[in-house]
A and B are shown apart, each in its own frame.
Chain A
Amino acid sequence: MNVGLIGAGAMGAPMARRLLAAGHALHVWARRPETVAPLVAAGAVAHPTAAAVGAAAAVVFTVVTAGRDVVAVTLGDTGLVHGLARGSVVVDCSTIDPDTARDVADRLAAHGIAFLDAPVSGGSPGAEAGTLSMMVGGDADALARVRPLLDVVAATIVHIGPSGAGQTAKACNQLVLTVAIAGIAEAMALAEASGVDLDAVVDVLSHGLSASRMLDVFGRKMAAGRFDAGVDVRLHHKDAQIVIDCAAAARAPVPAAALASQAYAALDGRSGRRRDSAAVLELLRDLRRADAD
């Protein structure tokens, strides 16, 4: 079927490739056309605007960075709303704040367009393998209609509740992993300062009560000293702020998440090349280095 996708980044591109591989006709748009060139080479059709993608497809995935990007591609001057027919569905896989998700859903509903907030967890490898975990907020009927398409990219699909509920679940997800990364980094820093081999510690921890996906991924990166962009620290910084904002709105204290978020803030503010979130360990090392600046 005709499917649209906007936002062919680290997550969007592998999702797009899976949709193509499943035999769907894929329609894409990007602010910078070179972004979608590899997809076009693989058979996707590039359009001049998001609205044009909407006119060509009844279901459109959006996988962009921030809440304002979602608003722009859906409701902007040349946004999807100007192309999509009544009865079509937008599946937003971006991680944004629940308020914006509810607002966009309301405004699209006025045009007879369903909007599902459907953020995913699992990273680029999960997207490549089609094993993402997807948490969905919005209309259950709309979800039922697009479910066969979602199955192409996600292995776990959970309908959490009404609009915004998917993003709230994602905020909970990001809360756990941003705190976990900070905890793992502290464990690594302690091991290192005590002269204990990091690989050995990661190995033994991964068989005990500290076993976690984050330990598998970030513990190993930290032990190997691989701090280059895998998960750009700027994204975790953005997500951590969404967690804090959700907590303020819900009047629910999140002290550990608040403290962890400041490590991402510090790394985000550093100059130089992009860092992976594993660099929280570097931050801790620098804290005990007298000449750090």
Chain B
Amino acid sequence: MQVGFVGLGALGQPLALNLVAAGHTAACWARRPEQMRPLLDAGATACTSAADVAAHAEVVVTCVADATDLEQVVLGRDGIADGAAPGTTLVDHGTGSPTVARVIASALAAVGVHMLDAPVSGSAADARARQLVVMVGGEADVFERMRPVLGCSATHVRRVGESGAGQVARACDQIASNVMLEAVAEALHLAARSGLDPARVRDALAGGYAWSRMLERHAGSMLEGRHSGGCHARLHAKDLNHVLHSAHALGLALPLTALVTQHFNALVGSGDGERDGAALVTVLQRMGRA
């Protein structure tokens, strides 16, 4: 297929490279041209704008920072909507807002362009290893047609409902995983402050009901004080604040999410915004320090 890319950041780049490796023909554009380099080296064509990318593609894949950026590259000046022919499909892999996804989908539907909100769960390393989880919102037949694109970097691809549903599922994913991460941090903190070897406690937990992917992935880094390599704390803070805004609009209480968000906020405020989620344990350590 003719695939176009907009948004070649930490996550977008491996997603795009996997599609090229799978034999799709690629065109791309990035605000910072140097971000296109690896993809151009892999044989992709450089374009002059998001609209230009859309004009060269049957499928446009976006992976930008947030909902505001997405609106800009799709509906803004020289955006995807300006260049896309009727019948084109937009697949958005970014984490954003369900409301904005629905607004964009209906704006595009008016000009005959399909859209799937398809945010992913997993890191850049997971993307390189093709081990992401993709949660998709949009029409079922569009989803079926896009399977070859959606499955390129993923072990699990699931359509959860109509437009916006993928972003709702992603918000649920963030709630559950970040609350879990805080729980792992608190458990290890208690173990360490009680004079136990927290690594042994970690191993014991991993064999029982407290096992989780977050324990598996982050407990080791928490114990070793290695807090880099994963998704930045400031991005966790930003995404969770967006989740809380959605909950605010619904009149919905998410008490633990609200609390974890503040611990990420503390990390950002202490200058640790570029460390990853495992740094949550340092917030607890600081609370106990004189």
Chain A interface (Cβ < 8 Å from any Cβ of B): 237, 241, 244-245, 247-248, 250-255, 258-259, 261-263, 265-270
Contacts and interface: CB of A to CB of B under 8 A. Distances in A.
Interface stretch (B86-94, B146-154, B210-218, B257-265): B257-265
Contacts of A245: 241
A85 to B, nearest CB: 37
Interface string B241-272: 10011011011111100110111011011000
Contact of B253 (A244, A248, A254, A269): A269
A266 B253 CA distance: 5
Nearest to B234: A251
Nearest to A265: B253
A161 to B, nearest CB: 21
A253 B258 contact: no
Main secondary structure of the interface of A (DSSP, over half): helix
B237 interface: yes
Interface residues of B, number: 23
B266 A244 contact: no
Given A244-B241, A259-B255, A265 B248 contact: yes
A244 B245 CA distance: 10
A288 to B, nearest CB: 16
Contacts of B255: 259, 262
Contact of A251 (B245, B258, B259, B269): B269
Question: A251, A261, A266, A270 — which one has the most chain B CB atoms within 10 A of its CB?
Answer: A251
A262 B258 contact: yes
A66 to B, nearest CB: 12
A247 B245 CA distance: 14
A259 B265 contact: no
Contacts of A241: 244-245, 248
A241 B253 CA distance: 12
A111 to B, nearest CB: 28
Given A247-B262, A261-B258, A252 B252 contact: no
B251 A268 contact: yes
Contacts of B254: 262, 265
Contacts of B268: 251
Given A244-B241, A261-B258, A255 B251 contact: no
12 contacts: A244-B244, A244-B258, A248-B237, A253-B263, A253-B269, A253-B283, A261-B258, A265-B247, A265-B253, A267-B251, A268-B251, A270-B251
Contacts of B273: 251
B269 A255 contact: no
B258 A259 contact: yes
